[in-house]
Chain A
Amino acid sequence: MITITNLSKSFTLHNQGAAVIPVMAGANLAVSAGECLGLVGASGSGKSTLMRMIWGNYLAASGSIMVGDVDVAKAAPREIIALRRGTLGYVSQFLRVVPRVPTVDVVAEPLLTLGVGADAARGRAMALLAQLNIPERLWSLSPTTFSGGEQQRVNIARGFVHPYPALLLDEPTASLDAVNREVVLTLIEAAKARGAAIIGIFHDEQARARLCDRLVDVTQFTPGMAQ
């Protein structure tokens, strides 16, 4: 489902002496449907960078990133938009929403964009929010004022509201208590069982051991010091 071949990336900081910082070279990996691959490596080794390149908000310098039949490294913006709409889901560590929009609508939005009816979309959103133990009295409020753990669960609900064939998970259990962590792990296992191809960053070692079929150490893709 996701195949990365000979991928490289560097940043050019024009306003800081045009410093060129190579951050990745020769990255290769592949994830099949129903498989969960964990990215490991020290902070700064490029786990999140790799994840963002697959999502398409970081540009690749060379190589290819096939998600289904789309090469994200070369795709036009509208192909990536279509990919994100139906095929590729992403649970990031940050919740970015229009202020004042109720939580239930934030979660239902990916389904509305896919053309699902408003009632069905909200129904699915409410079921997920309930499963993730977000109190019902919060559903009509904007998540911008929620606690870190609550915002994270709203983000997870958004990422699981549609059965995306490919999923990127950036520390999905980072700020959750034991009960909610278990709910999230169960959701991820269910996604695997229905055939989603998953790439995740998990600092939670037990979660990693339970979910990941394979681990890839991204340090092997990290070039030496900045030139």
Chain B
Amino acid sequence: MDTRIWAKMTTQPLLSVRNLSKFYGGRIGCADVNFDLFPGEVLGIVGESGSGKSTLLSCLAGHLAPDRGEVIFATTEGPRDTVQMGEAARRRLARTDWAYVHQNPRDGLRMGVSAGGNVGERLMAVGARHYGQIRDKAVDWLGRVEIAADRVDDRPSAFSGGMQQRLQIARNLVTGPRLVFMDEPTGGLDVSVQARLLDLLRGLVREMGLSAIIVTHDLAVVRLLADRLMVMKGGYVVEQGLTDQVLDDPQHEYTQLLVSSVLQV
């Protein structure tokens, strides 16, 4: 059987989050967050600015140390709590099994290095050494994110915002991660570029059997991209479920307000 289909049918979660909390002094960043993410699933996290969704994502990805709770990731050696893991082991995960797509491509790219170099650098970080193979793979990935081969030697600073974001995605996915964290991946892009990026992400998730956690405030983006949805307010998850169920039949007061506030085009 196709490994991707198999991955979707496995019953072991890829990520299990238990009672995760992060405080900024007396203020709540995020509190008592619990969920399981299974292989091949895309989880959307929505909420207004300050709701704790970015704090949560940073804690999950190991960029911030939570004050309480567990983030158990199914590593190749079995389930491990990444909060308790040593810094070196966590960094290794970040280079291999995980990827992080920043809202601003400048935070995820090296602006002084060519497009091909940006993609190749990730490969070299996991041990690739053969220059020809690295370059071929970089060109292949630039093609997959619809960046022409003749732009491989250009620096990202010469690219449009949409191209930079696609380059960041190529840089992140070239090493075949199993879990991708995305912070507002389509934020700051105009709508036609957004649609193109959404289509690209959907195809990549399907073809690579990726799991993803996407933080956004855009309900249209999660409807098209996420299988499941978590709604956050004041640091707490107030509602979670199947994406179209949460959007079409919201149960919590805040979700009802959020859904009914979207302007119809």
Residues of A within 8 A of B223 (CB): 96
* A224 CB within 8 Å of chain B: no
* B97 CB within 8 Å of chain A: no
Chain B interfacial residues counted at CB < 8 A: 32
* B192 CB within 8 Å of chain A: yes
Residues of B within 8 A of A11 (CB): 249
* 0/1 string, A112-145, CB within 8 A of B gives 1: 1111000000000000000000000000000000
Contact A57 B227 (CB under 8 A): no
* B107 CB within 8 Å of chain A: no
Contact A15 B256 (CB under 8 A): yes
* B244 CB within 8 Å of chain A: yes
Contact A78 B245 (CB under 8 A): no
Q: Which residue of B lies closest to A117 (CB)?
A: B2
* A52 CB within 8 Å of chain B: yes
CA–CA, A99 and B253, complex, Å: 31
Identify A99's interface contact among B4, B195, B206, B256, CB under 8 A.
B195
Residues of B within 8 A of A80 (CB): 242
| Chain A at the B interface: SS class | loop
Contact B38 A78 (CB under 8 A): yes
User: A96-B223, A113-B206 in contact; A77/B242 too (CB < 8 A)?
Assistant: yes
* A194 CB within 8 Å of chain B: no
* A13 CB within 8 Å of chain B: yes
A10 to chain B, nearest CB (A): 11
* B133 CB within 8 Å of chain A: no
Identify B202's interface contact among A12, A14, A98, CB under 8 A.
A98
| Chain B at the A interface: SS class | helix
Contact B249 A14 (CB under 8 A): no
Q: Which residue of B lies closest to A49 (CB)?
A: B249
Contact B253 A100 (CB under 8 A): no
* B224 CB within 8 Å of chain A: yes
* B176 CB within 8 Å of chain A: no
* A146 CB within 8 Å of chain B: no
Contact B5 A115 (CB under 8 A): yes
CA–CA, A51 and B86, complex, Å: 50
Q: Which residue of A lies closest to B248 (CB)?
A: A57
CA–CA, A59 and B241, complex, Å: 10
User: A15-B257, A80-B242 in contact; A58/B248 too (CB < 8 A)?
Assistant: yes
B90 to chain A, nearest CB (A): 27
Q: Which residue of B lies closest to A112 (CB)?
A: B206
CA–CA, A115 and B4, complex, Å: 8
Contact B245 A58 (CB under 8 A): yes
* A81 CB within 8 Å of chain B: yes
* A20 CB within 8 Å of chain B: no
Contact A52 B248 (CB under 8 A): yes
Residues of B within 8 A of A114 (CB): 5
* B198 CB within 8 Å of chain A: yes
CA–CA, A154 and B191, complex, Å: 23
Residues of B within 8 A of A15 (CB): 253, 256-257, 260
Q: Which residue of B lies closest to A144 (CB)?
A: B195
B166-215 residues with Cβ-Cβ distance < 8 A to A are 191-192, 195-196, 198-199, 202, 206
CA–CA, A77 and B9, complex, Å: 13
CA–CA, A13 and B251, complex, Å: 9
Q: Which residue of B lies closest to A102 (CB)?
A: B199
* 0/1 string, A45-62, CB within 8 A of B gives 1: 000000010001111000
CA–CA, A15 and B191, complex, Å: 30
Contact A57 B249 (CB under 8 A): yes
Contact B195 A14 (CB under 8 A): no
Contact B245 A59 (CB under 8 A): yes
CA–CA, A100 and B203, complex, Å: 13
Residues of A within 8 A of B251 (CB): 12, 59
Top 10 closest pairs, chain A to chain B, by CB: A14-B253, A99-B195, A57-B244, A77-B242, A57-B248, A115-B5, A58-B249, A100-B195, A115-B2, A77-B228
28 A–B contact pairs at CB < 8 A? A11-B249, A14-B256, A14-B257, A15-B253, A15-B256, A52-B248, A52-B249, A56-B242, A56-B245, A57-B248, A57-B249, A58-B245, A58-B248, A59-B241, A59-B249, A59-B251, A77-B245, A78-B38, A78-B228, A80-B242, A96-B223, A97-B224, A98-B198, A98-B202, A100-B195, A112-B206, A113-B206, A114-B5
